[in-house]
Structure 1
Amino acid sequence: MHVLFVAPHFPSYQRHFVRAMHSVGAKVTGIGEASPVYLDSELKSWLHGYEQVPSVCDEQAMLEAVRRVQRREWVDRLESTIEAHILPVAAVREACKIPGLSVEAAVLCRDKPQMKEHLRRHGIPCAASDGIASVDEAIAFVRAVGYPIIIKPRAGAGASGTTRCDNDGQLAAALKEAGVAQGQSVAIEEFIEGHEGFYDTMSVDGVPVMEFVSHYYPNVLDAMRNRWISPYIVSTNRLDASGYDALKELGRRVITTMGLGTTATHMEWFYGPKGLKFSEIGARPPGVGQWDVYAAGNDIDIYREWANAVVFGRIERRPSRRFASGIIALRPDRDGRIVGYEGVEEIQRRFGEYVTKAHLPPAGTPTQPIEAGYMANAWIQMRHPDYDAMREIFEVIARTIRVRAG
């Protein structure tokens, strides 16, 4: 099989998709923005070919690149794994008659108001939501639904650009910040109280062949707005427990209803006083290094299983569920440059056997804003046979390690 893969060079984890496809016997041609001279020898050894384009989000440039390859040889698949690339790649895929995620499905995954409207029509429980392009439309929505509400980009990812509003003053400020008065269209949604997590799959022809469930502590909006919090994510190894049956059934219905075929998926959900609610879904792997967390917790090369699914329509190995696994973000106490750490030696002494990866930037490293995500500054990935013990270890780490900046 000949697979075109978008952006094999950056971010750095993209190379693992190329490695995995090469390892299962596929020919891989990369399409990316980097000059070929910047591709290292190892990455080049996995590539069958490479096409440089000015931007992988430029549909015309991508279309021309794909057609150049098609004039030389047959192309079986065109794959992308980054949120911003999904829609332009789907458009090129359709124009070049290559199987894979459709433009219709890609639009639904990217445009949150359309996504929720589509799923509500199919009986999927979602928060009340709409797309708005004026202050009057926002006020009408609030009068119908009530506070609190959230404002966010129609095609955002995670909590990026998301603002909670509890009153008219906060709403006015959020709308101004989002450019609504100038005609910018944004998503507006009912704020759902409850616990937040995500359901991830590798699906083949719309049927999950690998499933994972993870939990946020605390919820994302709180985690991304408060520096003092050391937020963490834990992926459960109790997926067969009956309490997850409704979530798995919901996730599978969403994948089928959205027409998501053979692809990785990442679906956010809430559970609270109003029951289980769908939040949003992407036709891509999760971010924040979560696939590496799954690999460590389940004794698999998850990139290779993704490649097996894409190339052969099946996987070789099932997740073992031996460990709960997760990541904790460690925030600098202020913006500036890293000065040093407190408590790391104690955590290493007590829990070092459970650490799978860690990133502790050295003194002098510039800090990143906390809004940049769980892997923006220091972080630790871990695994433990017991889910509750994994949570408690992360709580101890959050109380113990301090990242000092100046």
Structure 2
Amino acid sequence: MNFVFFSPHFPANGADFCDRLKKAGATVLGIGDAPFDALDSKLKAALSEYYRVADMEDYEPVFRAIGHFIHKWGRIDRFESLNEHWLELEANIRTDFNIYGTKLDFVKNLKRKSRMRAFFRKSGVETIAQRKCSDRAGAMTSASAIPWWSNRTQAPALRTRSRSPMRKSSTTSSGTSRRM
């Protein structure tokens, strides 16, 4: 089995996944943006080959990497990552190279929670009510329909956070680090 692991270095448990695949007899091939020398030693040992791309968001180099792997290793049996961010890229690659798994015509059902809900219901799995809200009033109205929420004596204040995923750190005069 030829298994291409996209972004094997992130999240970090990708190394364990690749290691187990190799131990199960798979040929594990990796595509990522990290330099090979920066990869975890367990990950390096698990990979039969690693193809570095400068930008994982750029489809063309990923497409070329798969072409290279097929030329060198033969048919690709699986193309996966452990990151939801790559669902659409994975589906594109699987569609273009006819690799087993979720294809482009179905991936929207996994990316949109409202579509996922229909599949859960079809399978007999209960889901909670959902409502699309764009402001606090809509959110509070929706929340008031939930029994455990509406029985609360006082609704907690909604917290707002910075949209930036990065937080700055600074060092105080005593040398301790703090979040900003």
> Does TM-score exceed 0.5, indicating one fold?
yes
Query: Match for residue 78 of structure 2?
Result: 77
In the TM superposition, 1:37-56 aligns within 5 A as 37-56=37-56
Query: Match for residue 150 of structure 1?
Result: 133
- Residues 235-276 of structure 1 show CA distances to partners (whole Å, capped at 9, x for unaligned) of xxxxxxxxxxxxxxxxxxxxxxxxxxxxxxxxxxxxxxxxxx
Tell me how far 1:128 sits from its aligned partner.
Answer: 4.5
Q: Decide whether the 8 Å contact of 1:59 with 1:89 is kept in 2.
A: no
- The reply on whether 1:2 has 2:16 as its aligned counterpart is no
TM-score normalised per structure 2:
0.70
Tell me how far 1:120 sits from its aligned partner.
Answer: 8.7
Tell me how far 1:96 sits from its aligned partner.
Answer: 0.5
- Residues 212-234 of structure 1 show CA distances to partners (whole Å, capped at 9, x for unaligned) of xxxxxxxxxx7x9499xxxxxxx
For residues 4 and 98 of structure 1, the distance between their equivalents in structure 2, rounded to whole angstroms, comes to 10
Query: Match for residue 193 of structure 1?
Result: 146
- The reply on whether 1:59 has 2:59 as its aligned counterpart is yes
Tell me how far 1:51 sits from its aligned partner.
Answer: 0.9
Task: Write out the 4+ residue segments of structure 1 that deviate beyond 6 Å after TM superposition.
Answer: none
For residues 6 and 76 of structure 1, the distance between their equivalents in structure 2, rounded to whole angstroms, comes to 13
For residues 56 and 367 of structure 1, the distance between their equivalents in structure 2, rounded to whole angstroms, comes to 30
Query: Match for residue 24 of structure 1?
Result: 24
Q: 5+ residue gaps in structure 2? A: 149-155, 162-167
Tell me how far 1:79 sits from its aligned partner.
Answer: 1.2
SS at match of 1:54: coil
Query: Match for residue 166 of structure 1?
Result: 137
Q: 1:13–1:121: structure 2 CA closer, same or farther, 3 Å change rule?
A: closer
2:179 alignment partner, one of 342, 367, 372: 367
SS at match of 1:105: coil
Identity percentage over the alignment?
A: 25
- Residues 138-171 of structure 1 show CA distances to partners (whole Å, capped at 9, x for unaligned) of xxxxxxxxxxx634xxxxxxxxxxxx6226xx99
Q: Decide whether the 8 Å contact of 1:120 with 1:126 is kept in 2.
A: no
AA at the equivalent of 2:85:
A
Tell me how far 1:55 sits from its aligned partner.
Answer: 2.8
Q: Decide whether the 8 Å contact of 2:11 with 2:83 is kept in 1.
A: no
Query: Match for residue 15 of structure 1?
Result: 15
Query: Match for residue 129 of structure 2?
Result: 127
Query: Match for residue 109 of structure 1?
Result: 110
In the TM superposition, 1:299-318 aligns within 5 A as none
SS at match of 2:82: coil
Tell me how far 1:49 sits from its aligned partner.
Answer: 0.4
Count of aligned positions: 160
SS at match of 1:99: coil
Tell me how far 1:27 sits from its aligned partner.
Answer: 1.3
Tell me how far 1:101 sits from its aligned partner.
Answer: 1.9
Tell me how far 1:104 sits from its aligned partner.
Answer: 3.1
Q: 1:49–1:338: structure 2 CA closer, same or farther, 3 Å change rule?
A: same
TM-score normalised per structure 1:
0.34
Superposed CA RMSD = 3.6
AA at the equivalent of 1:18:
C
SS at match of 2:176: coil
